[in-house]
Amino acid sequence: MKQIAVIGSSVCSDSIYNDAFDIGVIIATKGYTLISGGGGGVMEASCKGVKSINGNSVCILPSYDKNAANNYCSIIIPSGIGEMRNFMVVRSADIIISVDGGYGTLSEIAIAKKENKKIFLYKPSDLVITLSAETTVLNSIKDIDRLI
């Protein structure tokens, strides 16, 4: 079974939130497991999309506090290792889908590149575009559905 990580900003616009929700639905519809950092924003939206059709998500939190997870995580792993949990998110996934994003997302993209993971950027922020050369950029939900 494929495990797909959706990475992105913990705070995002309504438009990005809705798109991340739709990506979660696609992942669950295909029977894949979502890997997430378990926070708000893009992470919450993708988990919510997965849960909306009874799919599964594994949320790897930076803190020891499992109550810090968003309300849509199926399985919560309170790692207690801070941002190092980004390694666990990336290494647990077969494919990485980055949505919007800031420096935390960028660190996950760098880890994924080093690990030779397949990475897709969906509506990347200017920061991510500038620092993520040679990565496939997607502009529609249909591209994600087709490619994963």
Per residue in 77-130, pLDDT tens? Answer: 999 999 999 999 999 999 999 999 999 999 999 999 999 999 999 988 877 666
Q: List the beta bridge partners of residue 78.
A: 61
pLDDT at residue 144 greater than cutoff 80: no
3-state DSSP of 6-38: EEECCCCCHHHHHHHHHHHHHHHHCCCEEEECC
CATH number of the domain enclosing 71: 3.40.50.450
Q: What is the pTM of this model?
A: 0.88
- Tens of pLDDT, residues 8-19: 999 999 999 999
Structure confidence at residue 28 (pLDDT): 98
pLDDT digits (tens, 9 = 90+) for 22-54: 999 999 999 999 999 999 999 999 999 999 999
Query: Domain containing 46: what range?
Result: 3-147
* Closest alpha carbon to 146 in 33, 17, 8, 23: 23
Instruction: Give the Cα separation of 130 and 125 in Å (integer).
Output: 9
Structural domain count, the chain: 1
